[in-house]
């Protein structure tokens, strides 16, 4: 067994991504708690998306009491990818005891990819009595980033459901046109989850630019 673990550890650091992918698959197929530290560490530096996804799967196959403490510790890492992948994996494990670790600083991480992972994880992990506060915290970031970031934030708010409606009100009244448009687009998605985000954004920008009454006239 020691030999197999040693071989897997070597393969996880191989130069060929296909070798690393097979190693991650093997680690998940035959889960061994002794690999937890190495899998978490590899997540922090792995450049290939598919290998990272397989590493996450392998970690979900291990006991939560082994993986969760290591992943929570990664939230304090100075490496953005370590934080992002830890949050992603925690959202897949879904252990509710992790919620206290999803702090405001985590939700407002300056790195967009980390923040996006934090938003997704928060929606999964937040207990019912924390969802109002979470929605308000997320809504404070309306207008942040590019289309991809804004779409992630809107999806997180929509996933929270009705509690997001009140949280959007400050954004809907914001003097910042970008914030207001993002809030309007998110409100549109709350009302009609099947509406496309790009169409919702275009409509929101038109309303912000023309005003609700003028926008309604031009739509006729």
Instruction: Centre a 10 Å sphere on the Cβ of residue 23 and count the other Cβ atoms it contains.
Output: 26
Whether domain 1-125 has CATH 3.40.50.800: the reply is: no
Which part of the chain has CATH 1.25.10.10?
Answer: 1-125
Residue 219: which pLDDT band, with cuts at 50, 70 and 90? very low
Residue partners of 134: CB distance under 8 A and separation at least 6: 107, 122, 123, 126, 160
Residue 214: which pLDDT band, with cuts at 50, 70 and 90? very low
Say what the pLDDT of residue 5 is: 80
* Burial annotation 132-158 (CB, 10 A radius, 16+ → b, else e): bebbbbbbbbbbbeeeebbbbbbbbbb
Q: Do residues 105 and 134 lie in contact, with contact meaning Cβ atoms separated by under 8 Å?
A: no
Query: For 205-218, what is the mean pLDDT?
Result: 54
C-alpha dihedral, 156 to 157 to 161 to 165, nearest 10°: 180
pLDDT tens-digit readout, 34-77:
999 999 999 999 999 999 999 999 999 999 999 999 999 999 99
In the predicted structure, residue 6 carries a pLDDT above the cut 90: no
pLDDT tens-digit readout, 142-166:
999 999 999 999 999 999 999 999 9
Query: For 169-185, what is the mean pLDDT?
Result: 93
Say what the pLDDT of residue 193 is: 76
């Amino acid at each position: 067994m020691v030999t197999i673990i040693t071989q897997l550890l070597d393969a996880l650091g191989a130069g060929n991504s296909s070798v690393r992918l097979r190693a991650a698959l093997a680690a998940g197929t035959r889960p061994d708690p002794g690999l937890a530290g190495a899998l978490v560490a590899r997540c922090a530096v792995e450049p290939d998306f598919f290998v990272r996804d397989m590493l996450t799967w392998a970690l979900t196959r291990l006991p939560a009491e082994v993986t969760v403490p290591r992943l929570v510790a990664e939230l304090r890492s100075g490496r953005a990818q370590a934080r992002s992948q830890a949050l992603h994996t925690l959202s897949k494990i879904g252990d509710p005891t992790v919620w206290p670790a999803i702090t405001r600083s985590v939700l407002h991480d300056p790195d967009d990819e980390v923040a996006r992972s934090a938003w997704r994880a928060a929606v999964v992990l937040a207990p019912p009595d924390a969802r109002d506060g979470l929605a308000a915290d997320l809504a404070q970031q309306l207008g942040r980033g590019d289309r991809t970031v804004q779409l992630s934030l809107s999806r997180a708010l929509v996933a929270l459901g009705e509690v997001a409606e009140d949280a959007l009100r400050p954004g809907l009244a914001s003097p910042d046109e970008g914030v207001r448009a993002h809030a309007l687009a998110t409100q549109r998605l709350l009302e009609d989850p099947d509406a496309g985000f790009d169409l919702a954004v275009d409509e929101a920008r038109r309303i912000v630019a023309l005003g609700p009454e003028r926008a309604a006239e031009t739509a006729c």
